[in-house]
Amino acid sequence: MSEPLLSIRGLRAKVDGEDGEILRGVDLDVQRGEVHALMGPNGSGKSTLAKVIAGHPAYEVTAGEILFEGEDVLELEPDERSRAGIFLAFQYPAEIPGVSIANFLRTAVNARLGEGEEMDVFGFQRTLTEKMEMLKMDPGFAARYVNDGFSGGEKKRNEILQMAVLRPALGVLDETDSGLDIDALKIVASGVNRLSEADEALGVLLITHYKRILNYIRPDRVHVMMAGRIAESGGASLADKLEAEGYDWLHRAVAAV
Amino acid sequence: MPRNETITELGLDEYKYGFVTEDQPVFKAVPGLSEDIVRQISHHKEEPDWMLEFRLKALEVYYSKPMPKWGGDLSKLEDTLDEIYFYLKPQDQMERSWDDVPQEIKDTFEKLGIPEAERKALAGVGAQYESEMVYHSLKEQWEEQGVIFESIEDGLAKHPELFRQYFSTVVPTHDNKFAALNSAVWSGGSFVYIPKGVKVEIPLQAYFRVNAERMGQFERTLIICEEGAEAHYIEGCTAPVYSTDSFHSGVIEIVVKKGARFRYTTIQNWSNNMYNLVTQRALVHEEAKMEWLDGNLGSKLTMKYPSCYLVGERAHGEILSIAYAGDGQHQDTGGKVIHAAPNTTSQITSKSISKGLGRSSYRGLCKVYDGAEGAKSNVECDALLLDETSRTDTYPYIEIDENTASIGHEATVSKVGDEQLFYLMSRGLDEAEAMAMIVRGFIEPVAKELPLEYAIELNRLIELEMEGSVG
């Protein structure tokens, strides 16, 4: 088997300056072209894992490694990880008043090019318009300031739009489904599916609290996180079992270890 | 919070206008202030007697008023003023062609890009060097329509009645200590008259340059915008960097008649050894509109509150203010709106950025007189702190004597937060780029109101990379 897209080994992490590990030995492999769902109760460490993968400065990795396409990324700054092909769709995206989505995304696209190179403005505009149509977004959206005054659904759609334009090798979607009504959820899910179809090598790590989104995005693998570790992994049917039985049986299983 | 070196990389503290020009002034008064100096200034300008009397009276008012105890730290100013040159005449006469301006002074303005800007995009240009306007010119097209754009001295000499009718009516001598000082020693500045119904579509610009060490510059500008007329006046200011302090204290008076529109834009970029204490005020008549666009980027201490006195029904006043305070800088800025007639409206928008040991204060007054029925005013002030050491304060004064007035005030303070930086960096922007984007976004509401070349100038200050050495 070829080298995994993402390979996490024995990863331990805590909030910088605090005691108490939140991640306590995570092991996880994502192959190219696979969709993995990461489930688990609140406080199990799912979102921390997402932020640590992207390089959030508030967390300190105390042990273990994260290999992306075989390279250790722990020493890389968040922007370097992004340019290497890691994308995090935020659960709570920050607001950047005064900066339009178009301007922001063009800067981000140009940051991927060499020194002094710039993407042709019309080409960029075409790409942006096309991706916005895919996500059923109003064309006027591109002129709005990044996340400024957006509804929850608009913020999540904006995250997927960015992923569509930046075309990462790995998309980590941190509770992209939370706070969405069913119509918005379908649009976001179909957007992710179309990105997967367009790029067969795209790896997705879909972090979610609920099974609902897995009705629209079919995962290849499902993992359950408990108390900072992957407690259980399985096929898509594991999500059904969690939906039917909750997390209690896992709590008991983890406690028994 | 972002690392300090990243903030430095933004180039906010870079000052590229700090060069000094070697020149030969034709007259330089002894340092310090005295009745003698005031008489010398008046004598050099060959003024009518009434102006000398006006100046001498103003000097008394200046001496009689105490140093303000509010605003910025003025405790060392009195000592500084003893050392300041109050009058420095750079050349014998003002010129109307750049070719006639002494080479070294012309070179200075070439370096500042003034003649080029004039050719490209301006209706007229005035250039002041030390105490005098060295160049003043108005394109023929506007002259033919009766527009007057002269040095203030020529305004007094050539249009004595018009001048006297308005001079010191908007900012009276006793208004404040520094208005009194300016009234005593004023020198340079513009006299602008826009006739009824004339719309000057491209800006008039005045550029103020201080070159000598320990210089005091006291320009005085008087602008009359007749009924239904429209114009836009831009002033820019720079100075060399010296270890001693310099002083700038201007007075700007503007009369905006019925239905007229006037916009006054300042891009103040003095070096960080300059005290900048300025009184700017507009009298806004019925259905007229006045806009102040006030950018304060340089100076050691600026105390400046552009004002709109809304004296005619449905008059509208707007003040858009942007301030940047870096290490050792205090920007005490804001605006005043006085509603003295029914259905008058006003808007103050203030944006400040503070960094390092810099401090920016918003100081504003909204006053509604009894009888100004239906007056509406809205104040928004937003402060952005780039790090943990910078400081911002808000001093909004609101005095309402009219029940039907509607007043809004909103103030926010934000820090460039880790979450914002992380978000932008997670999209591939490096830290300096991310920081610059946040700052640019913050000033966007003001920058978009500026003519393009000034927006670029403003944005240049938040460019990512340090340019070569300063000056």
What residues of chain A lie within 8 A of the CB of B434, using their CB?
A: 79
Q: Quick check: B265 pLDDT over 50?
A: yes
Report the gap between the CA of B433 and the closest CA in chain A (Å).
9
State how far the Cα of A90 lies from the Cα of A107, in Å rounded to an integer.
19
B209 contacts B240 by C-beta, under 8 angstroms: no
b/e B436-462 (16+ beta carbons within 10 angstroms → b): bbbbbbbbbbbbebbbeebbebbbebb
| 3-class SS letters over A177-193 | CCCCCHHHHHHHHHHHH
**What is the model's pLDDT at position B3?**
54
A99:B433 CB<8 A: no
Q: Which amino acid would we find at residue B258?
A: K
Helix segments in B65-176, DSSP class H = 77-83, 103-111, 114-121, 140-144, 152-158, 160-166
Angle (CA) B155 B161 B165, round 5°: 95
- CA distances for B41 relative to A93, B57, B168, angstroms: 62, 15, 18
Q: Quick check: B469 pLDDT over 50?
A: no
Residues A242-252, mean pLDDT to the nearest whole number? 81
Q: Which of A171, A247, A243, A174 is nearest to A207 (CA)?
A: A174
**What is the model's pLDDT at position B269?**
87
A111:B442 CB<8 A: no
Name the band, by pLDDT with cuts 50, 70 and 90, for residue B470: very low
B426:A81 CB<8 A: yes
Q: Quick check: B468 pLDDT over 80?
A: no
B10 contacts B462 by C-beta, under 8 angstroms: yes
Instruction: Write the CB contacts of B301 (distance below 8 Å, at least 6 apart in sequence).
Output: B72, B73, B74, B275, B276, B277, B329, B330, B332
Of A57, A83, A108, the CB nearest to B422: A57
ipTM for this model: 0.95
CB atoms within 10 A of CB B132: 26
A79:B418 CB<8 A: no
- The packing angle between helices A152-166 and A182-198, to 10°, is 10
What residues of chain B lie within 8 A of the CB of A95, using their CB?
A: 420
Of A58, A79, A96, the CB nearest to B428: A79
Q: Which of A79, A105, A110, A117 best probes binding to B when mutated, by most B CB atoms within 10 angstroms?
A: A79
Residues A196-217, mean pLDDT to the nearest whole number? 92
Q: Coil, strand or helix: which one is A118?
A: coil
Q: Which residue of A has its CA nearest to B382?
A: A97
Of B417, B428, B437, the CB nearest to A83: B428
What residues of chain B lie within 8 A of the CB of A59, using their CB?
A: none
B370 contacts B397 by C-beta, under 8 angstroms: no
Name the band, by pLDDT with cuts 50, 70 and 90, for residue B458: low
What residues of chain A lie within 8 A of the CB of B418, using their CB?
A: 57-58
Strands B246-248 and B274-284: parallel
State what percent of residues in chain B have pLDDT above 70.
93
- Token readout for A172 is 């980590």
A118–chain B Cβ distance below 8 A for any pair: no
Window from B222-226, B298-302, B333-337, B385-389 with minimum mean pLDDT:
B385-389
Tens digit of each residue's pLDDT (9 = 90 or more) over A183-197: 889 999 999 999 999
Name the band, by pLDDT with cuts 50, 70 and 90, for residue B460: low
State how far the Cα of B189 lies from the Cα of B334, in Å rounded to an integer.
23
A49 contacts A104 by C-beta, under 8 angstroms: no
Q: Quick check: B289 pLDDT over 70?
A: yes
**What is the model's pLDDT at position B6?**
55
- Token readout for B235 is 């002033």
Name the band, by pLDDT with cuts 50, 70 and 90, for residue B2: low
Q: Which amino acid would we find at residue B315?
A: A
Q: Which of A107, A118, A160 best probes binding to B when mutated, by most B CB atoms within 10 angstroms?
A: A107
**What is the model's pLDDT at position B24?**
84
- Token readout for A217 is 């995005």
What residues of chain A lie within 8 A of the CB of B428, using their CB?
A: 79, 82-83, 108, 111-112, 166
Name the band, by pLDDT with cuts 50, 70 and 90, for residue B34: very high
Q: Which of B351, B423, B440, B463 best probes binding to A when mutated, by most A CB atoms within 10 angstroms?
A: B423
A residues 70-89 lying closer than 8 A (beta carbon) to B: 77-79, 81-83, 87-88
Q: DSSP letters along B154-193, please? A: HHHHH-HHHHHHHTTTSS-GGGSHHHHHHHHH----EEEE
State the first-to-last Cα distance of chain B, in angstroms, to the nearest integer: 31
**What is the model's pLDDT at position B26?**
86
Of A58, A90, A111, the CB nearest to B429: A111
Q: Quick check: B241 pLDDT over 90?
A: no
Instruction: Write the CB contacts of B46 (distance below 8 Å, at least 6 apart in sequence).
Output: B157
A98:B427 CB<8 A: no
State how far the Cα of B47 lies from the Cα of B155, in Å rounded to an integer.
11
Report the gap between the CA of A97 and the closest CA in chain B (Å).
6
- Token readout for A103 is 């301007």
Angle (CA) B397 B403 B406, round 5°: 60
Name the band, by pLDDT with cuts 50, 70 and 90, for residue B10: low
- CA distances for B4 relative to B8, B386, B459, angstroms: 6, 9, 20
What residues of chain A lie within 8 A of the CB of B437, using their CB?
A: 96, 99, 104, 107
A94–chain B Cβ distance below 8 A for any pair: yes
A166:B445 CB<8 A: no
Burial of A110 (0-12, 13-18, 19+ CB in 10 A): middle
Residue owning tokens 């403005």? A121
Tens digit of each residue's pLDDT (9 = 90 or more) over A76-123: 999 999 999 999 999 999 999 999 999 999 999 999 987 778 888 889
Residues B151-167, mean pLDDT to the nearest whole number? 97
Q: Quick check: A248 pLDDT over 90?
A: no
Residues B337-345, mean pLDDT to the nearest whole number? 98
Tens digit of each residue's pLDDT (9 = 90 or more) over A35-83: 999 999 889 999 999 999 999 999 999 999 999 999 999 999 999 999 9
In DSSP terms, A97 is beta-bridged to: none
Q: Which residue of A has its CA nearest to B435?
A: A96
What residues of chain A lie within 8 A of the CB of B440, using their CB?
A: 98-99
Q: Quick check: B464 pLDDT over 60?
A: no
Q: Quick check: A14 pLDDT over 80?
A: yes
Residues B349-353, mean pLDDT to the nearest whole number? 93
Q: Quick check: B160 pLDDT over 60?
A: yes
Q: Which of A216, A218, A249 is nearest to A235 (CA)?
A: A218
Q: State the DSSP H helix or E strand holding residue B367, giving kind and residue range, or none if neither.
A: strand B359-368
**What is the model's pLDDT at position B178?**
97
Residue owning tokens 């918003």? B362
A104:B427 CB<8 A: yes
Tens digit of each residue's pLDDT (9 = 90 or more) over A119-155: 888 899 999 999 999 888 998 999 999 999 999 889 9
Q: Which of A36, A33, A26 is nearest to A2 (CA)?
A: A33
Of A57, A98, A107, the CB nearest to B418: A57
Q: Which residue of B has its CA nearest to A105?
A: B427
What is the dihedral angle through the alpha carbons of A55, A60, A63, A68, rounded to the nearest 10 degrees? 0
A94:B434 CB<8 A: no
A104:B443 CB<8 A: no
Tens digit of each residue's pLDDT (9 = 90 or more) over B267-285: 888 888 999 999 999 999 9
Q: Quick check: A15 pLDDT over 70?
A: yes
Tens digit of each residue's pLDDT (9 = 90 or more) over B49-106: 999 999 999 999 999 999 999 999 999 998 999 999 999 999 888 888 888 888 888 8
**What is the model's pLDDT at position B5?**
56
Q: State the DSSP H helix or E strand holding residue A159, giving kind and residue range, or none if neither.
A: helix A152-166
Residues B245-271, mean pLDDT to the nearest whole number? 95
- CA distances for B77 relative to A35, B10, B72, B185, B186, angstroms: 69, 31, 11, 17, 19
Q: Quick check: B40 pLDDT over 80?
A: yes
Greater confidence (A253 vs B119) lies with B119
Q: State the DSSP H helix or E strand holding residue B400, giving kind and residue range, or none if neither.
A: strand B391-400
Domain ranges of chain B: 20-413
**What is the model's pLDDT at position B387?**
83
Name the band, by pLDDT with cuts 50, 70 and 90, for residue B373: very high
Greater confidence (B197 vs B18) lies with B197
Instruction: Write the CB contacts of B281 (distance below 8 Å, at least 6 apart in sequence).
Output: B170, B171, B252, B253, B254, B306, B307, B308, B309
A57:B444 CB<8 A: no
Q: Which residue of B has its CA nearest to A165?
A: B427
Domain A6-91+168-256 has CATH 3.40.50.300: yes
Q: State the DSSP H helix or E strand holding residue A125, giving kind and residue range, or none if neither.
A: helix A121-134
Instruction: Write the CB contacts of B122 (distance below 8 Å, at least 6 apart in sequence).
Output: B202, B203, B204, B205
Q: Coil, strand or helix: which one is B153?
A: helix
Helices (H) then strands (E): counts for chain A: 8, 12
**What is the model's pLDDT at position B52?**
98
B440:A145 CB<8 A: no
- Token readout for A123 is 């080409």
Q: State the DSSP H helix or E strand holding residue B346, giving kind and residue range, or none if neither.
A: strand B345-354
Backbone dihedral angles phi then psi of residue B266, each to the nearest 5 degrees: -120, 130
State how far the Cα of B19 lies from the Cα of B109, in Å rounded to an integer.
12
